[in-house]
Amino acid sequence: PKPSVSWIKGETVVKE
């Protein structure tokens, strides 16, 4: 529901 930005292995992953 809320787009949160998480850092995984130095890459930006946007979760819905």
pTM of the model: 0.07
Q: Which amino acid is at 2?
A: K
Q: What confidence score (pLDDT) does residue 1 get?
A: 64
Q: For residue 16, what are its two tokens?
A: 């819905």
Looking at residue 13, its pLDDT comes to 72
- Tokens matching residue 15: 């979760």
d(CA 13, CA 10): 9
Q: What is the pLDDT of residues 1-16, one digit of tens each?
A: 676 777 777 777 776 6
